[in-house]
Amino acid sequence: SYVLTQPPSASVAPGQTARITCGGNNIGSKSVHWYQQKPGQAPVLVVYADSDRPSGIPERFSGSNSGNTATLTISRVEAGDEADYSCQVWDNSVDHPVFGGGTKLTVL
């Protein structure tokens, strides 16, 4: 089945830009969703359909998707952005969703 690959960890200084990648075979042809998850909490959808933001999600969160890589970009990173970030797509070949392994973002 379809596999999504994320780096296990990433780090960024406050005020800088974080970029978290999600790799998959021709992922650019799929709709990618991103979740933020803080310890002990349920995931929160921060980007859906590659680059759309649910209401209440800051404009600092943006997404892009092309070729074999989708990217979640967090601009002007704040301490409160420290969390695990996971990507997700719908695998039409088996008609169910697939999640990436998650990336732990550390704000230095």
Partner 1 sequence: QVQLVQSGAEVKKPGASVKVSCKASGYTFSNYYIHWVRQAPGQGLEWMGMINPTGGSTTYAQKFQGRVTMTRDTSTSTVYMESSSLKSEDTAVYYCARDHFGMGSYYYWGQGTLVTVSS
Contact residues: partner 1, CB under 8 A: 31, 33, 35, 42-45, 48-49, 52, 54, 86, 88-90, 95-102
Shortest separation between residue 42's beta carbon and partner 1, angstroms: 4
Shortest separation between residue 89's beta carbon and partner 1, angstroms: 8
What are the backbone angles phi and psi of residue 27, rounded to the nearest 5°?
-60, -20
Task: Indicate the residue among 10 and 98 with the shorter CB distance to partner 1.
Answer: 98
CA-only gyration radius of the chain, Å: 13
The string of DSSP codes covering 38-62 is: -TTS--EEEEBTTTB--TTS-TTEE
